Amino acid sequence: MDISGIGVGRNVAVGPVIRMAAPLQEPSKAPRAVGVSADEEMARVQESMKTINADLQRRAEAAENGDKGTQQAAPILQALAQMAADPALLDTIKKGVDDGKTAQRAVFEGFASFEQTLSALGGYMAERAGDLHDVGQRVIADLEGVPAPGLPQSDKPFVLVAEDLSPADTAGLDMEKTLAIVTSQGGPTSHTAILARARGLVAVVSAAGADDLSTGQTVIVNAAEGSVTIDPSDDEIAAANAAKAQADKAKELRGKPGALKDGTLLPLLANVGKPEDADPALEYGAEGVGLFRSEFLFLGNEQPPSVEVQTAAYIKLLSRFPGKKVVIRMLDAGADKPLPFLTPGDEPNPALGLRGLRSLRQHMDVMNAQLDALVAADAQTDADLWVMMPMVTDEHEAEYFVRLGKSKGLKKVGVMAEVPSIAFMADKVAKVADFVSIGTNDLTQYTLAADRTLGSVADYQTAWHPAVLRAIKMIADAGNANGMPVGVCGEAAADPDLAVVLAGIGVNSLSMTPVALDDVRAELAKYTMDEAKDKAAQALDGAFYHPTRWDFEQQ
């Protein structure tokens, strides 16, 4: 029997299931013992909060010094540590203690109120509610003197099954023992999926049937197919092991340029979030950087960084890629990445509000400072710098930003295609922009009206939907007709099968998380351009899209 979900990565794993420990029981509502004062109880809370903060800080430091995949967890763990030291949260807990509640109950209710606030904000902030819940559970466990819910211990390799994993849990996985992870919640852009992909873990998320799996059952986890086979036969296990061996061979092409079987080149670039990410990008054979997320310089700050600070960071990145293409995205603030000095706090639907270009045009000082820093860094390095603006809707906005960037001295200025309107206007955009980079995560979200952070609509968040592919084709056709390069830098580029389709559609480059480069490079090498075009034609017609939620026989 198979369970279906969303696969992360390309590999296959076979092994016994171990389920995550059950969550803690909700603390009793019974009032605090008469002989225990509020001050005594609050001192316990503060001590436990301090303990958890220190533990998360230690985990963050360990992540920074760990493998390249684990390093991506460091800023997430640092953010969790800050949650455990939030003064406002501590004040809320203190009110509960002053009202006669036990420390455990006051912590439970205090965290719950903050979780509700984050959930109501939607988008990225709603996703953080689960992270906050994890911190609360750790504090309560410390107060009760019991182990926090978390990773199981095992002497033998296993497949970890859970409702979902916290960032702390994902970062703490023992890579020697963890064969794969399967979760019933989460989507392709959840922290679980992102960290699993970064660490090269076989994973299937949003697999509803995973709740029925039991510790000890043998399963096959096939990330390429997004499936979990329960109690497989000997033949199925043999086939899975053969598929795993084939997937492991992908790294043999590392270092070679991305190309189809007939020699048609398709440059494979890396998505990076900070200058240090140049290391894994180069290790996995990236031919440059297709997306540098400049947000790392701004997030967590009360004020925007200076031109000097930004310039130094861009120089650090660009100097690692002499002669190679590096695409830097302008600040993409708003929606799931709010900034106190830039983002309105009262937007009813931030994903449709002021983000990207819309936000920066209202804060020209921030936009000009970033452009000045990019120009300065470009003058001091030898990389081939391309700069693009997110959240552009049509040729008017594209022309505005291109003219602004060129007036500053930038050589290659382009835009991101995330809003469906830009696909309809692609023929005009291609006449004013130097290039277009398609962000498939947002393009899919907006095309299908499905929040990319919401597990309940995770099965809509797929670039295999023919509507998304047709939008990509409109942009690629316009680019090829006008000599304008069109790349893809969303998660779709990391799907080896979809990468072949994108090549056939006419995309000129692909950019992805570094760990996906091996699999994509190997899959492209199996097809000629004619075969890729044939596969693209089928995909555009919906041949590979199976919306099981509308299967009448399964209703």
* 74, containing H or E segment: helix 74-83
For 263, half-sphere exposure in the C-beta direction (CA atoms, 13 angstrom radius) is 0
In degrees rounded to 5, what are phi and psi of residue 104? -60, -45
Using DSSP's 3-state secondary structure scheme, residue 258 falls into coil
Residues 555, 550: Cα–Cα separation, whole Å: 8
Closest to 394 in 3D by CA, of 350, 430, 438, 353: 430
| CB-count burial class (<10 Å; 0-12, 13-18, 19+) for 88 | exposed
Residues 187, 452: Cα–Cα separation, whole Å: 7
433 touches 414 (CB < 8 A): yes
Q: What is the identity of the amino acid at 290?
A: G
> How far is residue 13 from each of residues 17, 157, 443, measured CA to CA in Å?
11, 11, 31
> What positions carry a catalytic annotation?
191, 489
| CB-count burial class (<10 Å; 0-12, 13-18, 19+) for 549 | exposed
Using DSSP's 3-state secondary structure scheme, residue 229 falls into strand
**DSSP H stretches of helix in 145-175:** 167-171
Q: Which residues of 361-398 are buried (b: 16+ CB within 10 A; e: fewer)?
A: eebeebbebbbebbbbbbeebebbbbbbbbbbbbbebb
Residues 212, 203: Cα–Cα separation, whole Å: 17
DSSP 336-386: TB--TTTS-S--SSGGGSS-THHHHTT-HHHHHHHHHHHHHHHHT--SEEE
Q: Which residue has the tokens 């510790």?
A: 215
